[in-house]
Each structure stands twice: as C-alpha cells, then as structure tokens.
Amino acid sequence: MDKSCNQRGRIIAIEGSVVDVQFDHDQAMPNLYEAIDTKNFNGDKIILEVVEHLENNVARCIALGTTLNLYYHAPVFPSQDVVRIPTGNEVFGRIVNVLGEPIDHQGAINAIETKPIRHSISSLKINPDRLFHAQADILETGIKMVDFLFPLVKGSKSGILGGAALGKSILMLEMIHNVVQEHRGVCVFAGVGERIREGNELYFELKKQNIADKVMMVFGQMDEPPGARFEVAMTAVTLAEHLQDQNKDVLFFIDNVYRFIQAGAEISTMLGRVPSESGYQPTLASEVSDFQERIRPKESGSITALEALYVPADDLTDPAVVTIFSYLDALLVLSREKIQLGLYPAVDPLLSSSSNLNQAIVGKEHCDIAQECLKLITKHEELRRIVAVIGVEELSKADRLLYDRARKILNFLTQPFFTAEMYTGRKGEYVSVHDTIDGCRKIIEGRADTMSEDIFYLIGKFPETTD
C-alpha cells in the first residue's frame, strides 16, 4: 500500500473488531470502504476498512483481521484505495483469504493484475437487447434431480436451502466435480463462515479428483472476525467477475450465503445500530443487494451462481432467507424427511421451484414429462398419509398403481455421487438429462409396473433389463 503521502492518523478506540481512527483537522478523511494500514505490537500488518464517518475527523473502521495486540495511538496510513486482490490464472488451484493472500502454504501468488473488491455496478456496460433476446443455454450437471426438475441456465442464480446436516455442501461439491470434469468449466468457490473442517475436506477432495487447478477458492471461515467473513463474499465475486471479463462462463459457488448475512448482523451490532423488528441488521436488504447485483451476465461471459443457504431451525419464513429469495431463479429445498427416508440428494420437489422449467427453455417433451412426474409425486404425498393409517392394500387399484409409480420416480431420482463414494460404497454416476427424461417416461407409461421399486434406488440410468 502507498504510504508516500503525509496523511496519517492514530487509533483512539478498539472495541472487538471495531476500530476508531482519528485524523488531524487539516487532513482529508479517507473514503468509505477505503483500506487503512496499521500494525500491532508484533509488527503484523492489519487492514482496516472504513465504514462510517464520525464527528471530530474520526473514521470508524472494521478490522479484516484479528485486533489482538493492536494498541492505542498506533499510527495508521490510508492507502488511497479500497482492498485490492490478485487476479488471473495464477489463482487457480490456490486458497486465498479476504485480502487475496494465500493461506495454503504453497508460496506467494505472482499475479500481475489486481482488482478492487468494491466497485459501483452502475459502471457496467450491458446491452439489454442481447440479454433479453438471447437463447437460454442449459448447463447440465449430471444430477438427475437438478437437471430434470430444476435445470440450471447459464447466468442464473440458484439457491440450495436447508438446515444443518442435510447435504448442502456435498451437493455443491458434486456439481463442481461434474461441471469441471464434463464441461471443462471454471469455478470460484467461496467458503463464507463455514467450518474449517469442511474447507479442508473440499480442498483435498478437489485434489483427489484432479480438478483443483480449475477452481479458485476463497475462505473466510468460522474462526475469523466478522469483517473478514463479510467481505470474503466480495473477494470471491471479484474473482468471478475477472474470469467473466476473460470471456469465460463461470460457475460461482458460495457456501454459505446466510453466514454472510450473519457476519453483517454482527458488524451492525458492534457499530451500535438498532436492529430491525426481525432482529437482523437494518441494512439487511442493501447488503444483500450489494452482493447479489454483482452476479449478472455481461456480453463477455456469464456467472452461474449456486448459493447454499442455511435455514435457521428449518424455518423458510426467516427474514434473512426471504430476502435472498427475490434474487434467485431456482430454489432447491432440502428436506429432513427425505434424509430420514434415505433419498439422496434430499431435495423436496414439491417445496422447491424453478423458473427455468418451461417449454421455452427446456422444450415441450422435457416440460410435459416433468409436470407429469410432479403430479405423481403430489398424489403420492396425499396417499402417503392414508397409507400410514389403513395400509397400501386398502387403496383402490388405480390409486395403488399411481402410488407405486410415484415411489419408483422418487427412487429413480436418487443417485450415487462421485464425491460420496466413501460414504455410500457405490460408484458415482453422471446421468445426462436425456437418460433421465427417458427413464421417467418409461415409469410414467407403466413399463416398470412389474419391477420392484428397490431396483431404482441409487442408480444412474434406467435399468437395461426392463425392456
């Protein structure tokens, strides 16, 4: 950072991650989100980010690292710029923190170009005619449940919603594996406020699958202060924007976007802001907007976002969860009930939704068969409650037939994952959307009526022996 200017201030208060810095009255105040450089007793550099201007030439800052051993009246040096991070192909296969510094013990990142993590989205030049009249480009993931009922379109945003231990992270990991292996795509993964163990497992799983060199990883995890956990999302989307500017279609994963909101709530509390009636920060909507609006298609390329969203106490009406809903094109809701039934991935097709499942995007055949399957699954939910009381034998012949077909559909939409082979003992399978549609059509048409539903559990394509 440039310290050549004479402008400098001093720390006058430290409360957790909030640091107040005072400048002389004849000095200009640093801009909002400007980075300020200081050091602690041990000589370790600490970056502060300006978030408020107070009276008496005081700038209130949030530390992007630990404030341990930071001391009163320590000198600070404004950088005249926001935080900048290294970008380029040198970041592939590396793990960086919120400041773009490597944390994988693999040496320095010798990137030529750097980019600011904060910028105005109003400066983007977008041709609306090209975006609104462009043909939707389906991104196949090889996961039956996703490709069939909730197809991904390049440039869209999809949310994976669920409470604790429902498989959000492993579903995202499988998508990374399949997209990179099958489509030779590039990915950016943001680990926001999640467990260190999960980040460690992700890195070694990507190394094991030989796809780490196609993924940029940014981590700001549970052990880091709220400033780092909040801004790490901006660091990650900056890397995605850089790849997008290089005419690449980027798959952007964030795990977990709720932790980004949670970190913002912690910062808001430390700044003394009065929370809203829901208990969250009063700036909730604007903070989510600042992040989500940067994930948008450009003429140079697209960012396809998959956002894992932790749902507190499985409550889908939580204000933070609802705020994110408006930015998503598809919602994949993971169900604890599906987990208990052993259906993986545990996506509830009736609670989930996708605006991409229409004839204009996926075609008439795909749309019609998907709607028939959803009708069967809806009927199954109605009959399931009756069966629990009177037994399946008491159903009419027509209802029993629909009930059996729906159970086969639900089993057929389960799938062994490559990234879960060590847990399931089954070899992972990539299933094309054509094979998924073909299998569901055969079940709907009754060509599997004589088969046991167990045959369809955790398989790939429709069994060859049924014709």
SS (H, E, C) 63-107: ECCCCCCCCCCCEEEEEEEECEEEECHHHCCCEECCCCCECCCCC
**What are the average pLDDT values for consecutive 10-residue runs of the chain, which has 467 residues?**
63 95 90 94 94 94 94 94 94 95 92 89 54 68 95 92 85 88 86 87 85 92 93 96 91 93 95 90 94 88 91 88 93 92 93 92 95 96 90 90 95 93 88 96 94 94 71
pLDDT at 136: 76
pLDDT at 452: 93
Query: Which single residue is written with the structure tokens 């924007």?
Result: 241
- Is the domain spanning 85-358 CATH 3.40.50.2300? The answer is no
pLDDT at 301: 84
Spot the catalytic one: 3, 45, 130, 195.
Answer: 195
Q: 9-82 has which fold?
A: Thrombin, subunit H (2.40.10)
Q: Would you call 287 a catalytic residue per the annotation?
A: no
pLDDT at 383: 93
CA distance 17 to 225: 7
pLDDT at 133: 42
Q: 364-466 has which fold?
A: 1.10.1140
Q: Would you call 118 a catalytic residue per the annotation?
A: no
Q: Would you call 298 a catalytic residue per the annotation?
A: no
Spot the catalytic one: 84, 94, 144, 168.
Answer: 168
3-state helix/strand/coil string of 124-156: CCCCHHHHHCCCCCEECCCCHHHHHHCCEECCC
What is the dihedral angle through the alpha carbons of 261, 262, 268, 272, rounded to the nearest 10 degrees? 160
In degrees and rounded to multiples of 5, residue 186 shows phi and psi of: -120, 145
pLDDT at 411: 96
pLDDT at 124: 55
Sign (positive/negative) of CA torsion 351, 412, 151, 364? Answer: negative
Query: Residue 37 burial (CB < 10 Å; 0-12/13-18/19+)?
Result: middle
pLDDT at 451: 94
Residue 419 corresponds to which tokens in the numbers above? 């990234």
Judge whether 85-358 and 364-466 match in fold: no
pLDDT at 134: 52
Domain ranges, ordered by start, for the chain: 9-82, 85-358, 364-466
Spot the catalytic one: 174, 194, 198, 205.
Answer: 194
**Helix crossing, 226-245 with 257-270: angle to 10°?**
130
